[in-house]
Amino acid sequence: MEEVAFALEDCVICYIKSDQMEALMEKHKSLKNGLLKIYGLRIQKLERRLNDLLFKDSPTRIKEFILDYLDEFGEIDKSGKSKAKNLLSHKDIANLTNTSRQTVSNVLSKMRKEGVIDYNVEFVSKVL
């Protein structure tokens, strides 16, 4: 199965042949265990996304996505709020939550009015 990833910031990519990776995992059990843990977490995340698509409405999916994004990528600022770089466009969020760009805009505006989040071009932060 082939996977595709897009870098949202500058990064360095290293290529390791599969036989070299297998040898490294055989030699370093902690590497093997770490990768298995990462794969397990990715499977759980995919199962959750599928469950969300099947049983949750669009606004709920968007709200939970934003809050999860802040939990995963946010850092606590001086005021004690979780703040993350705003690396995703409304279109990106729509694609990731299987919704429309307009729905994302509406939900984010509502979350801002309710005092749940604040955002601008550079950052998104959790207010509560």
Per residue in 103-120, pLDDT (tens digit) is 999 999 999 999 999 998
Are 46 and 67 found together in one domain?
no
Report how far apart, in Å, the C-alpha atoms of 122 and of each of 41, 88, 110 are: 28, 10, 19
Position 61 confidence tier, pLDDT thresholds 50, 70, 90: very high
Mean pLDDT of 34-56: 93
Q: What domain range includes position 107?
A: 57-128
Q: How many domains is the chain partitioned into structurally? A: 2
CATH number at residue 83: 1.10.10.10
The pLDDT of residue 128 is 62
CA distance 95 to 106: 15
Are 41 and 88 found together in one domain?
no
Position 3 confidence tier, pLDDT thresholds 50, 70, 90: confident
Are 74 and 45 found together in one domain?
no
Residue 123 near residue 75 (C-beta atoms within 8 A): no
Are 50 and 23 found together in one domain?
yes
Q: Is residue 88 part of a domain?
A: yes
The reported pTM is: 0.76
Strands (E), 7-77: 75-76
The b/e string for 33-54 (b: 16+ C-beta within 10 A; e otherwise) is eeeeeeeeeeeeeeeeeeebee
Q: Is residue 1 part of a domain?
A: no
Are 67 and 128 found together in one domain?
yes
Q: Output the average pLDDT for the chain.
A: 92
